[in-house]
Amino acid sequence: MKFLTCITLSCCLLLIKMPAWAQDLNLVFPTPPMQSQPWVPLATNLPIALQNSVNILFQTGLADPRSCDYREIEVVAGNLWTASGKIIKTHGWVIPTTNGTYSNFAIGWNGLIYQLVSVGNPKNAENDAYAMIQATAGHDLHGQAFVTEDYGLNTQWLTPLKAVIILRFASAKLANECARTLGHDDPFLMLATDRLWTVFDRTTCAHARGDDELAYATATNLEQACKICEIEAKARGFEF
């Protein structure tokens, strides 16, 4: 049984096992200001298959960092093996409110939205992106999927999802460098797999440590993302 199918079945089982009262929990993540706005790549020579893949992933709910302040942040990352969470320091995009003030949420490098523990000084997203691209040069990004939540949030190593985030905001030069890390073939299956794994991992970590509010909210998004990715994968001729 292939990965996308396994993720779909696992998601259904998680939702079934959630206590009935979990459905009444009201954790609602804010919508990033540019989430539904069109994306025009600054790098005009990006392959069409890559551009389409990026757009599809943001349709699944991958959080769009455009127009958000990039800062030092502290958030809680889960660990499935210890059934616990820990506060980690990293960088991310703080989501503004409709009146221009900061919300209590930020977008991590894994494209998920987190409640903030703290917010620090401004940082430079392009500098972090360039450093990750250079650090991963020569490595196959397929080996950077299925990572832990804290790894997906760090600013040391590139992953497929981090590449998608970079393409969304980066300058033309940086976007071209980033695109080269994804190879020449249609990257959709690799990118979609990393996207679904990241949401699945967060769901199971939250469930394991008893955070049913976060687990239910994330599992609901996972169910929707699976359907979108399955439809797109079939349209591209992938077998799974």
Residue % of the chain over a pLDDT of 90: 67
Q: Which residue has the higher pLDDT, 22 or 36?
A: 36
In a domain, 37, yes or no: no
Domain count of the fold of the chain = 1
192: in domain: yes
For residue 183, being part of any structural domain is answered with yes
Two structure tokens written together for 48: 């069409």
The reply to whether 55 falls in a domain is: no
The distance in angstroms from the start CA to the end CA of the chain is: 8
pLDDT in tens, 188-228: 999 999 999 999 999 999 988 989 889 988 998 998 999 99
CA-closest candidate to residue 60, choices 195, 209, 236, 198: 195
Q: What is the pLDDT of residues 43-85, one digit of tens each?
A: 778 999 999 999 999 999 999 999 999 999 999 999 888 888 9
Residue 6 predicted with pLDDT over 60: no
Question: Is residue 33, in this structure, part of any structural domain at all?
Answer: no
Residue written as token pair 């976060």: 214
Boundaries of domain holding 86: 3-19+63-235
pLDDT, average across residues 10-37 = 66
**pLDDT at 2 > cutoff 70:** no
Run of H or E including 216? helix 212-235
Residues near 204 by Cβ (< 8 Å), separated by ≥ 6?
A: 14, 80, 215
Q: Which range, of 87-91, 106-110, 142-146, averages the lowest pLDDT?
A: 142-146
- Among the listed residues 58, 67, 63, 127, the one whose alpha carbon sits nearest the alpha carbon of residue 91: 127
pLDDT range class, residue 24, cuts 50, 70, 90: low
Instruction: Output the pLDDT for position 1.
Output: 38
Q: What is the pLDDT of residue 18?
A: 52
- Can you give the pTM of this predicted structure? 0.88
Residue 30 lies in a domain: no
Mean pLDDT of the chain: 87
Burial class (CB in 10 A: 0-12, 13-18, 19+), 224: middle
Lowest mean per-residue pLDDT among 85-94, 95-104, 215-224: 95-104
